[in-house]
Chains A and B, each alone.
Chain A
Amino acid sequence: MELLLQQILSGLATGTIYACMALAVVMIYQAIGHLNFAQGEMATFSTFVAWQLLAWGVPYWAAFVLTIALSFVAGVLIERVVFRPLHGAPALSHIVVFIALLAIFNNGAGFIWDFTIKSFPSPFGQTTMFGSMLNAHQAGMIVCTLVMLVLLYLFFSRTRLGLAMRAAAANPESARLVGIRVGWMIALGWGLASAIGAVAGMLIAPIIFLEPNMMLGVLLYGFAGAVLGGLTSPVGAVVGGLVVGVVENLAGTYVPVVGSELKLTIALSLIILVLIFKPSGLFGRAVAKRV
């Protein structure tokens, strides 16, 4: 029983990271209708930036906030420079560019900071808590993501800019007709996605160590979470990410064949199963429509 609870809790902790990646993917998917394969490498690059800042002696939380800000700006710039000219281009063109970005960020990080594994500090430490159910860093991950999700929720539900972004994603033509600069809303979406990815990267790095391929597996779990929750639903993405985290952990512990070797297979199987049986995902768009 205690093992089960512990596995669920630590599953939730990694699940928050998958939830972040799923949310980042969904945010860009909502804006441009394509899955950003480079989301993971962008997050890794952000984490390297944070590592560099820390190495220069910047205090942890200052580096944390600065990295988020820099990642936001970089996300906006990537959209303005790379994706704006691609607007309306076919899916394949987008995929090629996503792969190019993936390669650029991956190799760029390796070139600047080399490919050896680096340790990344945790601001929370590793002391265990709740009767050794969870360590302090896992608890910190959960709290940090929760705070971020609440802030995002408030931004999208309470501010006019958030409303404008939702409108631009839901119906770009009508959004232009009320005067919303849809192009900039898409760029802001990229900025937010990139910033969310940076948070995920900085929180997971103390656990899985920092190297250029760090987010590869994480992004796959993120995709699984996004597909499970529904690519059209930010809430679904978060729930999906958490579920994937828990399922991954439980399967690794209780299904003997899976162990830690086959964990990634679970994510991929989940994607396929959801796409076969419920392509819109658990929280996929359910719009009431009257004819």
Chain B
Amino acid sequence: MTALLSVKGLTASYGDGQVLSGVDFEVQRGGVTVLLGANGAGKTTTLRALCGMVRRSGDIVLDGAPIQNLSTEGVVRLGVAHVPDGRGTFAQLTVDENLQLGSITRRDRRGIGEDVERCFTYFPVLKERRGQQAGTLSGGEQQMLAVARALMLRPKLMLLDEPSFGLAPMIVKQIFAIFRTLSESTSVSMLIVEQNAALALELADHAYLLETGRVVFSGRPDDIRNDPTLRRSYLGY
């Protein structure tokens, strides 16, 4: 496998506070990479920095092209779909409109229609709710909508920020099953930030541990499971 995304020396700051101090990592083509770490380690900021949503410096290379100077819209237009924390759904717009917005940069009308149907087969509940305001959906349904909207971009890379946050275990299971299907049946690569490490490691082929804005460990999921210290800190057993 080759790297789709490779990040070197990524720093990011909010105002005076530096949150990332030189983060290096890669996401393999078609692979699932997970970023683990405690609250405040800089996981969300890493995703936001990739998309240019915070002030950043360092090298970010997507598919061979540097993207560290692009605007958020520019990065997205290269096929990076970000499902942010808080999900970023357009609450006043309908489910259908949210999906259309996911594909707003595309021109292929027919492909867009097909992709809407594909999203409905992944998440049938969205089809029942397609005319409803997104703000009226349950938390789980909104997360499904956020993932579906990201898929509408036909992304090369999906950035998923805590997809399990605040959801019932049943829903989490369902959403992660979809991630597995996606990673097995399509060429999309994923970078997942998760508090639920056990769940994320089942899906991932590579994991990074972040501590206070630095990568302190990089390896395969088994390396974490087999290391007593890491296992206790991140998996809790």
Contacts and interface: CB of A to CB of B under 8 A. Distances in A.
Given A171-B88, A285-B92, A164 B137 contact: no
B136 A174 contact: no
A181 B73 contact: yes
A80 interface: no
Contacts of B153: 178-179
A54 to B, nearest CB: 40
B38 interface: no
Interface string A273-291: 0000000000001011110
A290 B88 contact: no
B133 A288 contact: yes
Given A163-B97, A167-B90, A180 B133 contact: no
Contacts of A177: 51, 72, 76, 81-82, 84, 88
Nearest to B78: A179
Nearest to A176: B72
Contacts of A179: 73, 76-77, 104-105, 153
B89 interface: yes
Contact of B92 (A164, A170, A182, A290): A170
B51 to A, nearest CB: 7
Given A173-B53, A179-B153, A164 B104 contact: yes
A160 B112 CA distance: 12
Contacts of B137: 290
Nearest to B138: A290
A263 interface: no
A176 B76 contact: yes
A203 B212 CA distance: 63
A166 interface: yes
A180 B91 contact: no
Interface in A206-246: none
Nearest to A232: B92
Contacts of A285: 92
Contacts of A171: 88, 90-91
Given A171-B91, A178-B153, 7 more contacts: A163-B93, A163-B97, A166-B93, A167-B101, A171-B88, A288-B135, A290-B135
21 contacts: A163-B100, A167-B93, A167-B104, A170-B90, A173-B53, A174-B84, A174-B88, A174-B89, A174-B90, A176-B76, A177-B51, A177-B76, A178-B101, A178-B153, A179-B73, A179-B105, A179-B153, A180-B105, A288-B133, A288-B136, A290-B137
Interface of A: 160, 163-164, 166-167, 170-171, 173-182, 285, 287-290
Interface of B: 51, 53, 71-73, 76-77, 81-82, 84, 88-93, 97, 100-102, 104-105, 133, 135-138, 149, 153
